[in-house]
């Protein structure tokens, strides 16, 4: 069946649906599909352009769906033929969710299957696709956003020979960071984001505390029937890591209350928006594998064991019963698998993954120390999600990494900067900056 071709204003998209091994060490075994969507500027379809593979943030998110040549894609198309990868389990690739996992059997089988969806497998998929589309000796550049940057360091660890250059935005990982280390560094950053939010919108301090008190005293259900607890409400703090997130949180809180027959109630519109913000129906892999993306057997022989929940106890300001409410950030907690209807069926498998101790290594420090591929990385000084110090330590440990440290942008800058961030990195690669 020929690839599907879609023409949008300024861009031509060609969908390549490629069968890859579930386990690349068993190429004759089960296979899954991965969507690789080729994007090229209209009128340049036959030009001999260099390829740029885009590795999406996550884990568990499909690549962005273009609507034209806006944003970073428009900038990339000036110089590259871009490949937008729906990483395995996401988007139009073979889906991975409660429905598909139920067909695999019990929790042990599900956990074993899920373990094959980390950065190491994503990189091997990319190499499989590179050989198919570009030939055995073909090379390409990488653009890794957030978790995509983590995948880029994995790529540099295990298959750098066909990489021409790498661009990383908000995604230089700590090469030896455990999940505990990540969250121990993250909670203070999230606390600072809370204080900055309350300084910008002082009225929200009282509003958030009032909502939390109401949730302690009343059983409040979201539209899908699950209970909205204080801890779940705190999880809205994930919004604070984006450039406009503080403003969005404020406007959400502003519309929280209505006066009903029995007095003040949380408005249906507010609850519907909270459900949307907190739901994992579109990206269950994000919740299931979030701590596993930090697990490496040579770094720690201990399981991740719900590190975000354990480390949280070291930061009493995040206690859900505190007088002042602090929102949390990019943390996944075990109670989410007891409340979210799309995560409940994955609860036992998630617990098995949290106790696993034999995770393969994602990074090869020795090979990275001999790196010869140029890497141009945007490091966001105030990044709530990725620790700046870890990123800079990695840049120091890997030759060829050049960083641009900025507080002009937040973690979502690649998406919202209208191509400015990627343009800066491309300029660095050309010696213009």
Question: H-helix or E-strand containing 18?
Answer: strand 11-21
In whole angstroms, give the CA distance from residue 60 to residue 56: 9
In whole angstroms, give the CA distance from residue 37 to residue 59: 18
What does each C-alpha distance from 328 to 193, 257, 297, 354, 418 come to in angstroms?
10, 22, 28, 20, 29
Q: Is 146 a catalytic residue?
A: yes
Which residue from 412, 365, 361, 357 is spatially nearest to 384, judged by alpha carbons? 412
Backbone φ and ψ of 36, nearest 5°:
-120, 110
Residue 352 exposure: Cα atoms within 13 Å on the Cβ side:
14
- Catalytic residue, candidates 26, 47, 219, 358: 358
What does each C-alpha distance from 99 to 92, 225, 238, 332 come to in angstroms?
15, 20, 27, 21
- Catalytic residue, candidates 235, 390, 411, 412: 411
**Angle formed by the axes of helices 245-254 and 179-200, to 10°?**
60
Alpha-carbon 351 to chain mean position: 21
- Rg, Å, the chain Cα set: 22
Q: Is 411 a catalytic residue?
A: yes
In whole angstroms, give the CA distance from residue 347 to residue 200: 38
- Catalytic residue, candidates 146, 157, 246, 391: 146
Q: What is the DSSP letter of 384?
A: S
In whole angstroms, give the CA distance from residue 96 to residue 400: 36
Give the residue numbers annotated as catalytic, written as ranges. Answer: 146, 358, 411
């Amino acid at each position: 069946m020929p690839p599907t071709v879609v023409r949008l204003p300024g861009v031509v998209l060609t969908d390549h649906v490629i069968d890859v091994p579930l386990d690349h060490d068993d190429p004759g075994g089960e296979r899954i599909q991965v969507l690789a969507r080729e994007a090229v500027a209209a009128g340049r379809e036959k030009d001999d352009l260099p390829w740029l593979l885009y590795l999406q943030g996550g884990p568990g998110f499909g690549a962005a769906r273009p609507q034209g040549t806006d944003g970073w894609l428009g900038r990339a198309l000036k110089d590259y033929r871009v490949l937008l990868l729906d990483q395995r389990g996401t988007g139009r690739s073979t889906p991975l969710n409660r429905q598909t996992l139920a067909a695999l059997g019990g929790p042990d089988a599900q956990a074993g299957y899920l373990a094959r969806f980390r950065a190491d497998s994503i990189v091997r998929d990319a190499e499989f696709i590179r050989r198919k589309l570009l030939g055995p000796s073909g090379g390409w550049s990488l653009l890794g956003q957030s978790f995509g940057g983590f995948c880029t360091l994995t790529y540099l660890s295990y298959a750098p020979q066909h990489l021409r250059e790498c661009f990383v935005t908000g995604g230089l990982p700590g090469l030896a960071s455990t999940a505990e280390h990540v969250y121990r560094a993250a909670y203070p950053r999230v606390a600072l984001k809370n204080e900055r939010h309350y300084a910008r919108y002082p009225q929200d301090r009282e509003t958030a505390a009032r909502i939390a008190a109401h949730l302690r005293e009343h059983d409040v259900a979201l539209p899908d029937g699950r209970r909205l607890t204080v801890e779940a409400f705190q999880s809205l703090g994930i919004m604070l890591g984006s450039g406009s997130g503080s403003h969005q949180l404020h406007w959400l809180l502003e519309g929280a209350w209505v006066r009903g027959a029995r007095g003040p109630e949380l408005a249906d519109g507010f609850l519907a928006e909270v459900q949307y913000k907190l739901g994992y129906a579109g990206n269950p892999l994000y919740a299931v594998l979030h701590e596993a993306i930090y697990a490496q057997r040579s770094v720690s022989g201990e399981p991740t064991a719900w590190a975000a929940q354990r480390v949280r106890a070291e930061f009493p300001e995040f206690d859900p019963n505190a007088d002042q409410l602090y929102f949390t950030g990019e943390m996944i907690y075990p109670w989410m698998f007891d409340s979210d209807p799309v995560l409940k069926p994955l609860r036992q498998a998630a617990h098995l993954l949290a106790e696993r101790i034999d995770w393969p290594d994602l990074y090869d420090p020795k090979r990275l120390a001999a790196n010869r591929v140029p890497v141009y990385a945007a490091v966001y000084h105030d990044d709530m999600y990725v620790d700046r110090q870890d990123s800079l330590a990695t840049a120091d440990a890997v030759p060829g990494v050049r960083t641009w440290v900025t507080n002009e942008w937040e973690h979502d800058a690649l998406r919202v900067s209208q191509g400015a961030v990627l343009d800066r990195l491309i300029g660095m690669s050309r010696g213009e900056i």
